[in-house]
Amino acid sequence: MGIRPDIHFTESNQITLLKGGEEFFPALINAIDSAQTEICLETYLFSNDSTGQLVKTALCRAAQRGVTVHVIVDWLGTGHQRSRELGNTLMAAGVHFRCFNPWFRRGIARTHRKLFVADRRIALIGGININNDFLAEGRRQSVLTFPRWDFSVEVAGPLVDEIHELMTIQWQRLGKFSWSTRLWMLKKKTKPVSSPQTPILACLAPRDNLFYRSTIQKAYLHAIGNARHRVLLATPYFAPSRKFRNALIEAAKRGVQVTLLIGYGDFALQDAVAHSYYPKLLKHGVRIVEYRKSQLHAKIAVVDHTWATIGSSNCDGLSLFINHEANILIRDVDFSGQLSLAILYAIAEGIAVNQTDYENIPWYRKCWYGGAFFLYSAIMRLIAVEGFM
């Protein structure tokens, strides 16, 4: 089984926006409990908190009633000890478990994707890990006052088969895949939902280091390059390639309203790198807002009220050029409008960054921002030469 190096939009998809864990995890648990033949789950982080326990228990229940369950977690994101303990528990219940790239044996790439498929009929894709909404990720291991700001979507329709194929290939890459299991999966294959009530044009945009090396960045560049009215982009970490930054600037120059909603406070170095880009972006009319109400974890964008994306890919070098990622691209006015409202509401809660804020900053802050940019760009040049600068 192979993946084509091109991407394409499919019709007749039904897509439901899920905001935060409050909507995502009930949908996930329901899909697990309703599965009859097969479950596939791939995530970067699978925590040992109350939310992780609920999902783990649901997966074990599914395996014990005869559902074939495949789970992939990232070794770095989940942690060595946690991955081992989780794997032992799941496998004891009959779950098939694999850990992505332990001890960096296959290079530095991580699987940062958040994917789920049940019976090849229902899929979940977005930016939400298996962890509690109120426990901060990154260096801020603390309880959040407000839930983490993040999104996912539930998908039914022909796109589910593409998501399933992507996950199957990942599983095959991580170990030997018996012919009997392959035949079982083919035999148990169910037909995708063909007539949803709200058909939507959608496309799977993955990123890996074989066929899809720059798919997500190209999708962004195409959408931003053709923008005529508005670009809304939310990302926890903003450190994209020069080409990406220039696309935003050129859009602003031709009169497009470009607004960036950026996370703040997870990693000091990441914040400094983002701040090094602010003066030029602000100078050319790009609006920047920092979200400090809670931890911003969403990786979403809307362009011109008709194009939207949700997924796992941050707008930084690691996501765009190194890690395994997966976004969904959506062409639908109603869905784009729904996602736009969510972004605009968060922008209203954020803190706007003004150009004057950077005109008279102390010299040591300028040195810190410049040094952070130099260090980050040097690392990216070294490990992700293709397309970063």
Which residues have a catalytic role annotated?
Answer: 112, 114, 119, 297, 299, 304
For the chain, how far is it from start to end, CA to CA, in angstroms?
34
Nearest to 198 by CA among 34, 335, 26: 335
Cα distances from 54 to residues 41, 50, 58, 61, in angstroms, run 14, 6, 6, 11
Q: How many CB atoms lie within 10 A of CB 78?
A: 26
Nearest to 221 by CA among 131, 315, 294, 286: 315
Whether 21 contacts 295, CB under 8 Å: no
DSSP assignment of 142-195, as one string? SB-SS--B-EEEEEESTHHHHHHHHHHHHHHHTS---HHHHHHHHHT--PPP--
Amino acid at 61: R
Whether 246 contacts 220, CB under 8 Å: no
Cα distances from 101 to residues 72, 324, 354, in angstroms, run 11, 11, 42
Q: How many CB atoms lie within 10 A of CB 122?
A: 22
For 125, the token pair is: 């894709």
Contacts of 225 (CB under 8 A, 6+ apart): 247, 250, 251
* Per-state percent for the chain, helix, strand, coil, to nearest 5: 40, 25, 35
DSSP assignment of 57-121, as one string? HHHHHHHHTT-EEEEEEEHHHH-HHHHHHHHHHHHHTT-EEEEESGGGTT-S--B---EEEETTT
- Left, alpha or beta for 79 (phi > 0: left; psi -120 to 50: alpha)? left
